[in-house]
Structure formats: C-alpha cells, structure tokens
Amino acid sequence: MQQISYDGQLSTIRALVFGVPQGSVLGSVLYIFYIVELKQVVARHDMCLHQFPDDSQVYISVAISDTTIAIDIECG
C-alpha cells in the first residue's frame, strides 16, 4: 500500500501493483532494471530527475515569472 503526504494533506491509500521486497536477493538487480529507462521517460516529459541509491526525485524547474503557470500544470 502507498500513501503520499504533502503540505499536511494525505492522498488516498493505493495498492502497489509492482515492487520488490526490501532486502531480497534480487532487489538490487530488479531496481536497476526498473530505473534504467526512467531518465529517458522523465526527459521526454520535460522534467528533471535526481537519482540516489535508494530514491528518485522528479521535478520541474521554472523561472519565478512562470510560477503561476507551473502551479496550474495538471499531470495526466
């Protein structure tokens, strides 16, 4: 199950469809298979990506004058 907390608000709880049990023997290999194309997918949608050994962060960067437009962007 997964739930996101942002700015004091909680999303609905969702069942995870895919995943690797923490500490599994194949965990590292499966993680690499999972993220290998992530950078290309993120770039295709004009977003940025920071990757860490156990986490990934997807974000957009805009000029201060464009913050209103960035806030109104709907992901779909």
Per-residue pLDDT tens digits for 10-54? 999 999 887 777 778 877 787 777 777 888 888 888 888 888 877
Split at pLDDT 50, 70, 90, the class of 76 is very low
Encoding tokens for residue 50?
């920071």
Neighbours of 55 (CB within 10 A): 7
Is 80 exceeded by the pLDDT of residue 62?
A: no
H, E, C per residue of the chain: CECCEECCEECCCECCCCCCCCCCCCHHHHHHHHHCCHHHHHHHCCCEEEEECCEEEEECCCCHHHHHHHHHCCCC
Please state the domain extents for the chain: 5-72
Q: Would you say 38 and 32 are in contact if contact means Cβ atoms under 8 Å apart?
A: no
Per-residue pLDDT, 73:
64
